[in-house]
Amino acid sequence: MAKELLLGIDIGTSGCKIALFSRNGSVVCSDTEEYKVYYPEPGYVEQDPDEWWEAVCRGTKKLIEKARINPADIAGVGIDGQSWAAIAVDSDGNVLIRNPIWMDTRAEAICEELNRTIGEDRIFAVSGNPLKAQYTTGKILWYKRNKPEVYQRISKILQSNSYIAYRLTGVMSQDLSQGYGLHCFNMRKGVWDRDMGSALGFDIGILPDIAACHEVIGTVGTNAAAQTGLAEGTPVVAGGLDAACGTLGAGVIESGQTQEQGGQAGGMSICLKDYCADKRLIMSWHVIPERWLLQGGTTGGGGVLRWFHEQFGFEERLKARERGGSSMALLDELAKTVPAGSEGVIFLPYMAGERSPIWDEKAKGVFYGLDYSKTKAHLARAVMEGAAYSLLHNIETAEGAGASVGTMRAMGGAANSRFWTQMKADITGRSIEVPGSDTATTLGAALLAGVGVGVYRDFDEAVSETVTVKRRHEPNGEIKEEYARGYRTYLELYAALKELMHK
């Protein structure tokens, strides 16, 4: 019997998710391992890549044991990861400093300076993206200016997925879909631009060679096999951006199809055959060949509800322990007791500044419209609505840039909430489909491995074999105007508060 098991590894912000899939996309077994996020100073948000690796090792061993499989039956490994890492490693592959993750804004002043000296338009013409502090570029230059002893020892800069791939195989790589974090990446051609690298102020020699996301870059080595429980010699593909792998895992591979993201971050990814960049949005390569993704990426996705749950969900957690079930589901039920529009309570979900489309590192989270009649239920619903308003803001921006957004495919943990998914359909006025697996991101990583090692002929076959729609949400036109009023207030609030936020 041919090997047909595929392993997907997802290096997320809140933890590492690992899932083993059969050829038809069903989950054989899965595991989640958490790790820390560090906030050492205002604007600094860090994680330790070695803690990612430790989580991968724990998770794969647990998964193999729980699944009771022979690890030699795994045909290939695919890895996806969070965006805009700047993992500095020396020539021996040792991590030199904790990695500033996608929410880190310490390089704001550096990016502002480069936009002035090089020119925003010149940078955008090459990279297809605005130069902002959250991207990889500014973080590299922050090392150079603020940690010269670290910068001088850098052999390569790796991304989250490529670091785990390196630990598995000993090969340092850079996949196409994660190139967008570097503004010396030519977005049209998918190659490094040496001239732009020089203009930005660093040698592109510290960047690995670029590989297709489904390209086999190496195999699991002896030490990695001992640490993870995987079989030595198992093929590993380059992998890609988590949002792009989730887009693949949701079945979005044709131009015009759209993925709605409900992980820690929020937003959407529109699959494009023709280049269509906009400074207010995020442009990347898809993990499949000859496609781009025009993305709206926000800091306020599932993470804002997780924050609310942690800070204000004690009662729900207690009830869940006593009665069984999910405390997050109890928050859904609480929010349902308040009508659409939260009776005037509006939440700006800018809990770590905001990315697209406003690109404001100083933006703050805000509750507006409180009075003595308002309850925790109003706040819970307003948090959900605020994340949905930010999604609509990005959709409208993308359509203004010339992209078309129709039916969306939802992915991420937030897609498990029927209530929140329906709310997003109502607020955006778009139908939303939810694929059959809520592990779209790890499935996408596994599908890259499946195509790379030949389990599937191509991506069309991979998606047709594995992705099914289990439910569909149609927008409710009866509450359209209530949400339209809330959305107008949402936009006006930021415009009115922006100057105060910047003081």
Summarize the confidence of residues 36-43 as an average pLDDT: 95
Determine, yes or no, domain membership for 378.
no
Segment (H or E) for 445: helix 440-453
The SS3 call for residue 10 is strand
Cα distances from 162 to residues 179, 301, 345, in angstroms, run 12, 25, 43
**What are the residue ranges of helices labelled H in 313-375?**
314-323, 327-336
pLDDT at 301: 86
pLDDT 10s digits, 171-223: 999 999 999 999 999 999 999 999 999 999 999 999 999 999 999 999 999 99
Determine, yes or no, domain membership for 182.
yes
* Non-local CB neighbours of 281 within 8 Å, separated by 6+ positions: 294, 295, 296, 356, 357, 394, 397, 398, 401
The structural domain count of the chain equals: 1
Torsion over CA of 281, 484, 476 and 378, rounded to 10 degrees? 100
Q: What is the DSSP letter of 230?
A: P
Determine, yes or no, domain membership for 176.
yes
Q: At 1, is the pLDDT very low, low, confident or very high (cuts 50, 70, 90)?
A: very low
Determine the Cα–Cα distance for residues 288 and 286; give it in Å rounded to an integer: 5
pLDDT at 500: 97
Determine the Cα–Cα distance for residues 98 and 220; give it in Å rounded to an integer: 25
pTM score, two decimals? 0.90
* 151 closest CA partner among 79, 97, 231: 97
Tokens representing 209?
């060679």
pLDDT 10s digits, 96-118: 999 999 999 999 999 999 999 99
Q: At 437, is the pLDDT very low, low, confident or very high (cuts 50, 70, 90)?
A: low
| Residue 139, pLDDT above cutoff 80 | yes
pLDDT 10s digits, 237-293: 999 999 999 999 999 999 989 999 887 888 999 999 999 999 999 999 999 999 999
Determine, yes or no, domain membership for 425.
no
Determine, yes or no, domain membership for 331.
no
pLDDT at 181: 97
Please tell me the number of Cα atoms within 13 Å of 240 on its side-chain side: 32
Determine, yes or no, domain membership for 272.
no
Q: Could you tell me the residue range of the domain that residue 179 belongs to? A: 5-245
* 107 closest CA partner among 158, 141, 74, 77: 141
Determine, yes or no, domain membership for 491.
no
Tokens representing 127?
């990279």
pLDDT at 466: 96
pLDDT 10s digits, 359-414: 998 999 999 999 999 999 999 999 999 999 999 999 999 999 999 898 999 988 89
pLDDT at 412: 83
Q: At 235, is the pLDDT very low, low, confident or very high (cuts 50, 70, 90)?
A: very high
pLDDT at 291: 96
Which residues pair with residue 10 across a beta bridge?
Answer: 17, 80
Please tell me the number of Cα atoms within 13 Å of 284 on its side-chain side: 29
CATH number at residue 127: 3.30.420.40
Determine, yes or no, domain membership for 263.
no
